[in-house]
Amino acid sequence: MSQSTASVITLNINGEKHTLPVDHRTTLLDALRERLDLTGTKKGCDQGQCGACTVLLDGRRAVSCLQLAVAAEGREITTIEGVADGEQLHPVQQAFLDLDGYQCGFCTPGQICSAIAMIEEHAAGWPSAVTADVRPEAEAAPLTAEEIRERMSGNLCRCGAYVSIVRAVARAAQADDAQQPPVSDELARLAGSEQKEGVA
C-alpha cells in the first residue's frame, strides 16, 4: 500500500491562516508564490545561496527555497507583504526607501526581511564572525559597517547597492535606539548624513 505524497496543511502567514493541499516536496517559496500569490518573496538561485527568498519564520530569517511548506506548518511566517503596519512602513522599509538601498528591487524583499531579523539578533547580543569579543558575558558590540556587512552577507545584490544597504540598516537600527545596542560613531554619521547631503 503506497503512502500519499500530498497533505492538506494550514500556514499562518502574515497573521492569516491559509489552508491548502501541497505535494510534500513543495517548497515554502513555491507555496507562497505559486499557490498563495504572495509574489513579494522572490525566486533567485533556488539553491539557498542568494537570499532573495528570505522570509521570517517565528521571527528568524530563513531562505524559503530550502524550507518545505509542510515543515512550516504551525510556525509564524512573515513575508515582505506583512512587515508594514498597515500604511505605516517598517523602519527598515523606510530606511531602504530614504537611502536608496535598492536599484532594480529584485533582492530588496529578502534584504529587508533579513535586515529586520539581523537587527534583532544584534540587539539580543548574538555575535557574528567579525565580533571581537564573543564571550557570553560581554556586552553587545556597537553595530559597525563591518558587522552589518558580515551579518547581511547571505543576501546578494546583483546591482551592487551594498553601500546604501549598509546605510539603510544602520538608520533602521538607530530608529529604536532605546532597545538596541549603539551603532558606531562612524556608522551613525554615515546613516545620518544622507538626510542633509543626499545620496551619493
In the listed set 49, 82, 115, which residue is the last one of a domain according to the structure? 82
Q: Are 54 and 108 contained in the same domain?
A: no
What is the reported pLDDT for 4?
87
pLDDT of residue 183: 59
What is the structure's pLDDT at 197? Answer: 40
- Do residues 78 and 135 both lie within one domain? no
Range of the structural domain that residue 181 is part of: 91-197
Whole-number pLDDT of residue 137: 84
**What's the pLDDT score for residue 42?**
98
Tens digit of pLDDT per residue, the chain (200 long)? 567 899 999 999 999 999 999 999 999 999 999 999 999 999 999 999 999 999 999 999 999 999 999 999 999 999 999 999 999 999 999 999 999 999 999 999 999 999 999 999 999 889 999 999 988 888 877 899 999 999 999 999 999 999 999 999 999 998 865 455 555 666 666 666 444 443 33
Q: Which CATH number do you get for residue 163?
A: 1.10.150.120
* Together in a domain, 18 and 99: no
Q: What is the DSSP string of the chain?
A: -PPPSEEEEEEEETTEEEEEEEETT-BHHHIIIIIS--TTS--SSSSSSS-TTEEEETTEEEEGGGSBGGGGTTSEEE-GGGSSBTTB--HHHHHHHHTT--SS-SSHHHHHHHHHHHHHHHHTT---TT-S---TTSPPPPB-HHHHHHHTTTS--TT--HHHHHHHHHHHHHHTTTTSPPBPHHHHHHHHHHHHH---
Q: Which of 82, 109, 128 is the last residue of a domain?
A: 82
pTM score above 0.95: no
Decide if 102 is inside a domain: yes
Per the domain annotation, does 1 fall within a domain?
no
